[in-house]
Chains A and B, each alone.
Chain A
Amino acid sequence: MLDFLAQALTPFNLTLALVGVVLGTVIGALPGLSATMAVAVLVPFTFAMDPASGLIALGAIYTGAIYGGAFAAILVNTPGTPSAIATTFDGYPMARRGDGSLAVTLATLSSVTGGLVGAVFLLLLAPPLAKVALAFGPPEYFWLAVFGLTLISALSTGNMLKGLIGACFGLLLSMVGVAVVGGDIRFTLESQTLLGGINVIAALIGLYCIPVLIDLVATPDPHLKVAAGAGGFRLAEAARLAWRSKVNLLRSSVIGTLVGILPGAGGSIAALVSYSEARRSSKRPERFGQGEPDGIMATESANNATVGGGFIPTLVLGIPGTPPDAVILGALLVQGIRTGPTLFVQQGSIVYTFIFGLLIATVLMLPTGLVLGRYAYQSIVSIPKAVLVPTVAFMTVIGSYAIQNSPSDVVIMWALGVMGWGLNRFGFSPSPIVLGLILGQIAEQGFVQAYLIGNATGNVAGMYFGRPISLAILALALLTLFYPWLSDRWRRRRRGTPDD
């Protein structure tokens, strides 16, 4: 093992890890530039390297990009990558009230923690954990999506009905296009551009960023408040907060690793699930969504843990855990490396050198992230508003265009953004809509596939309610939904006070 560590520590590999993390962070911070794209662009360069170094470079870019997504989420309320959606919930409110640098530092500490936990799981437990991916069938994905939807109750502050209506609207938006199951062409309004459906990232940029821009130009106030005397990294304060929330950090990292193992779930769901869990177990759930540090720590540790988690099925089963993993798998194929259960034995030197490289890259994220984060924060704060608005607007346009190189995605982004602004003014917040949009396809496909399989084996009810993992997720969903009410009752009973 130690000689693999030494191989990962060669100056060349260290340089690759450092350059990869920096590039990845910058790319991830720009909305619309996803980790997938960052990895795909860099793949040809790795063909000239030996496989382990190539993998280290790609892994470093990937983990950096997932982390960089937090910058845009915190500073301009736009998830740079989908996995940073839940980071906007508390990150942006923190930045607005002047705690932007604290939020960025917290995100860095959490991302490093999550990344390390995911990579350690990859190092020590990859083959057994890959079985988790296989244990998840269609009904489990269906219930996982339902579990994700219970988060609406947390997100719809004010009026639960409006949150639920928004989620239904998001679910319907996710149905637009050609249906995977059934092959129907749904709700495209006879338009060819909608055949491919509504791109989630374009929708994210629109729903989260356009309203910010619209409100930004309406007043001469600065974009973010700057707390007096709160410059610098606020590293000590962040470290104290992180230490206080070590349980949250660890739990979220483990959730992130596990969800990352599931092909077809991904960082956004990992972050949402751990956010939901953090809120449920928090002593002050009402502060979530208002700028609660625990919220950022949960989402950022979870989404970086999916990097290590996602590599588990990629390397062990040859099934990409996340979209960037698909690109990396393709690169391995071209290099002539066969993934599979024997990879860890036959190509141990490549695999373990890579995993150590990933660990090193994750650690390097701490200094680079703090410096880059501080720079990003400083520039967002110090750029005059008149320049900030068109710059951010330009990023939304080029970002939504670059996802699929499609001008119609820019139009969709704009339309959803303006609509989102209007709806938000009347109490329909964008987050339930986004939640529906992300989870709709997973829920629908899981449900119908489970029905098809259940029907073929003559046990439809057993498919949904007769499988242990399904039941466990269902129980968690119910717990999340009724926890506030239950804990209220428990507390009352303990205190012995009558209802008032």
Chain B
Amino acid sequence: MKPFTYERAKTPAEAAAAVARQPGAKFLAGGTNLLDLMKLEIETPRHLVDVQDLKLDRIEPTTDGGLRIGALVTNTALAADTRVRRDYGVLTRAIVAGASGQLRNKATTAGNLLQRTRCPYFYDPNMPCNKRKPGSGCAAIGGYSRQLAVIGSSDQCIATYPGDMAVAMRVLDATVETVKADGTTRAIPIADFHRLPGDKPHLDNNLEAGELITAVTLPRPLGGTHHYEKVRDRASYAFALVSVAAVIQKDGSGRVAFGGVAHKPWRVEAADAVMTQGAAAVTAKAFANARPTEDNAFKIPLATRALAATIAEGKSA
């Protein structure tokens, strides 16, 4: 690990200013992903601003009937919250489908949104990777791509966003609240938070340098039944090959987002619109412009089957 200096910020604005001021500085929350990458020298911050004292660890109701989740609420605390379990079950289901108990105790809401890809070529410093080292090439294209993106990818990157929580937040139309170094705040719809790789795959999201996530807000509850179907190589503690986050209403209408298939949680509104026509109709729309590799083309029929299972579960609920 490269040497770094360390400080603890007292307020969100102070933390944002501290990161913006110092070249090579990064925020540190739970650290479960950042430290892993620092050990491999994929991340090499020269200064860490620890945000654990910012008191962003509460879940509070919003005035319009939703919930505001502080950036530092742990995965465990968020999944266990009685309001989340009752009104946003898809979120609890997604969180407990991810990582291990130990990791969920430390991983935070904001940190989880910023989790970096698990593409094996991103993790191997001996391989070219446009995300890790812009301009070096992409070893995943033409390499082992079974886990990687089938849609929204570019000629420079076929990495996926690996998380589960954000897929549920996408289906719930959550909003990411931030503060910038100059103290101004903004609210980013989750749909616009993560980026597609395009020709800048080193950028995972649309945050500016030094911009700090302070909370994620959920709109008022959608009702319906809540589902998170995750298909993976083992029954627990593995990243998704395909995951389906869905909220289904009594009349069969609903919304769905897919994980494990793209550089961001994948939701297509035109696909939501045909939910009553069944899984095949939905995935035909959701994956209309898919560009799978030979290794990962199986993900598209798998997404259809996972969604069919989800719809069947909704009917029997």
Is chain B found bound to chain A in the same assembly? no
Q: Which residues of B contact A (CB under 8 A)?
A: none
Q: Which residues of A contact B (CB under 8 A)?
A: none
